[in-house]
Amino acid sequence: MKVGGLMRILPTLKSEVIYARDIVKAGLDAATSAGRVNPPDMGRVSQIAVAPALLGAAVGVVGIYLGRKGRLGNAAVLGGLVGCAVGFTGGVAWGTRAQAGAAAKNARQNVQAVRDAHWLEKNPVAYA
């Protein structure tokens, strides 16, 4: 590639890198601001997550028990812990779904605003 061609590509590349940075920043700003405006009640969320955690622990122990044809041991404890962790994580995700949805909506709106501004910069509209 000739040096002249590279010199034409560099400003375009810089512009696109700045555009990508602005999009990421808009999404992250919206996601973090949603948590500050309406933070989840973690006491309530953890109470909601207890039932799925217990169910996950039971499924983990029963899964190991059936897989080993009725023999329990350290693997059953590990299966119970893994099931409990997965169940608790699912319960927390379920309990915070409203806040996650609000953050996603805000992020989508902010990213769309950045995209619209970028498009207008590249395609100026002349009104008569």
pLDDT tens digit sequence for 44-69: 888 989 999 999 999 999 988 888 77
User: Residue ranges per domain, the chain?
Assistant: 3-117
Dist CA 86 CA 56 (whole Å): 7
pLDDT tens per residue across span 68-115: 776 778 888 899 999 999 999 999 999 988 888 888 888 899 899 999
> Tokens representing 30?
């919206």
Task: Report whether 110 contacts 25 (CB < 8 A).
Answer: no
Residues in the chain: 128
Dist CA 88 CA 61 (whole Å): 15
> Tokens representing 102?
């609000």
